[in-house]
Chain A
Amino acid sequence: MMMIDPHVHMTSRTTDDYQSMAEAGIVAVIEPAFWLGQPRTEVGSFKDYFSSLIGWERFRASQFGIKHYCTIGLNSKEANNEALAEQVIELLPLFASKEGVVGIGEIGYDDQTAAEEKYFRLQLDIAKEMQLPVQIHTPHRNKKAGTIRSMEVCIEHGLDPGMVIVDHNNEETVKDVLDMGFWAAFTIYPFTKMGNERMVEIVKQYGSTRISINSAADWGISDPLAVPKTVALMLERGISETDVRKVAYENALASFGQTGQMKEADWLSGIDINQDQRFSGNSILRGGQAPKVEKKSSNIIR
């Protein structure tokens, strides 16, 4: 089965991860701009980071037959450095208009401070003006209130809920998100977010409409194979293939593909991975391979 991981920070991952992801059937990834663990102190660091998302990282992914897209934004943590945030906001439209940039993200609340609020709103306006989808990071702390607030602010700014993907949902937030007409994304992330057995139950209860899964794999303890492992577990536990495909592929494409910057043809036609793209003798893996999830380790992510 072809899969998309619509939230994964490949900058923090190794080529081994790309290789396993391609082997497991991941054909495309979306890398939201986020913080790098260490706070940035100069606007130039953001510029180079955004450039790497549309340059080097895109090429690195293509070597493994994976199509790489990204969302561009100022994350909530660093929005709290206001002097820097002002300069980053200036930079955003320049990057948001680039090919393969499929949205503004990941933006939202962390501590839910006034500065976070200000730059979240400013970026919603940019998204609206540029007609781009928004990828929303919902907070770890005070999650339910933060999630509902994020959606209310989106509506206040005149955004169509169909253009907003609310991420890092759990059992407590999913109903509100779906009821309000937003896309509900789930991050399968060990310990702090969702385990994938819980995810199976959510799909059983809520179905597959406007629900998607991702790994949000980054520099923390995370799993770049979270999507294929969850796919395997869902199938094993009797969820229909149609529903699984929607959750692990179609909904990500439908939500982020709305601007025409991400199309199935991008990977079905085989990316730019002919023999001539070999680099220093490295061969390139092809996309669209049959899922080959590791058998020796368990598919369950707690």
Chain B
Amino acid sequence: MVEGQTHKRISYLKNSIFDNVDSRGQKWLEEKLRSIEQSPHEKELYMSFSMAPRFMGKMRLKASTGAPSELLPKVDISRYTVDQATRIVLLLQYADQRLLSEKVTDTLFQTAEVNELVALYNALPWLPNPEKFIKRAEEGIRSNIITVFEAIALHNPYPELHLSENAWNQMILKAIFTERILDHIEGLDKRANKALAHMLQDFAHERWAAGRNVTPELWRPMVNFLNEESFLADIEVLLEKGSTLEQKAAVLALSESSHAQGKVLLSSFQGKRESVKQEITWKIIAEEWQQNKI
């Protein structure tokens, strides 16, 4: 951890929040930050953390740019609401005084209401020593409350950086199971692994056996493992029997794969079908799938 990083994060977030609230909100936050610095009391942190939305509002944060990459990579704070950003800055201020003990974070997590949990999971990548919170992150992934799951799994750099392979794989499977958009998961391609590819395949087969379909995004983390015959066989099924969107996903998977046999399959298919030749990305596939669902 770079010395003073937390301090810089606080000023960056505070300035962004100040651009979004009136003088009453600014005054409230300024006071809370000062009191944490000067006479920190646990109870005071819990209260201000809970009551932030009443004084700061819950509007979406307008921010011209994402966090500067040297401060925090891959976080777009314009996805936060003002109260979420406020809660993160309060935690950081407490951490900056070296007071964010395990006891304090345990209390925060154990007594959190839904929106507080969302803010806590968004806060994880900002906190010093983020590796201390791996168990918490895994707990968030197990949550039955979908907004809580989303807070840790989507648009959050934490899982990519800190989760074990098994926890990562469970998160991807749950995202598919709950019909989230995989494209919103940071590090989806980078953290792809063979065990996950097998889990995804099993899931697809199980669904096919039940006469259901699966998201075409499912094939994305399998791109680097198409040298396994059974995977390629599934791609072939998609090309032959799949929907147009599934065919697009299959074509994209094959064209991103370096596997020679896959290339042969791809060129023979492309000879037959003109319709899937146009520009296609995983993002477009994800969006079209969501459109079709609605």
Contacts and interface: CB of A to CB of B under 8 A. Distances in A.
B146 A59 contact: yes
Contacts of A35: none
Contacts of A201: none
A240 interface: no
A45 to B, nearest CB: 13
Contacts of A94: 43, 46, 50, 107, 111
Most buried by B among A50, A94, A275: A94
Contacts, number: 60
Given A59-B114, A99-B113, A281 B179 contact: yes
B54 A260 contact: yes
Contact of A47 (B111, B115, B178, B294): B111
B264 interface: no
Interface residues on B, range: 20 to 34
A278 B177 CA distance: 11
B145 A97 contact: no
Interface in B188-226: none
Interface in A24-63: 47, 50-51, 54-56, 58-59
A275 B113 contact: no
Given A275-B293, A281-B179, A97 B47 contact: yes
Given A51-B112, A58-B113, A272 B147 contact: yes
Contacts of A50: 111
A88 to B, nearest CB: 13
B116 interface: yes
A6 to B, nearest CB: 19
A168 B238 CA distance: 62
A280 B178 contact: yes
A15 interface: no
A55 B147 contact: no
Given A275-B293, A277-B146, A55 B50 contact: no
A59 B111 contact: no
Given A59-B144, A59-B147, A98-B50, A275 B110 contact: no
B117 interface: yes
A50 B50 CA distance: 14
24 contacts: A47-B110, A47-B111, A50-B111, A51-B112, A54-B112, A54-B114, A55-B113, A55-B145, A59-B144, A59-B145, A93-B43, A93-B47, A94-B43, A94-B111, A97-B50, A98-B116, A99-B53, A99-B54, A99-B115, A100-B113, A277-B146, A277-B147, A278-B179, A279-B144
Interface of A: 47, 50-51, 54-56, 58-59, 93-95, 97-100, 260, 272, 275, 277-281
Interface of B: 43, 46-47, 50-51, 53-54, 107, 110-117, 144-147, 177-179, 293-294
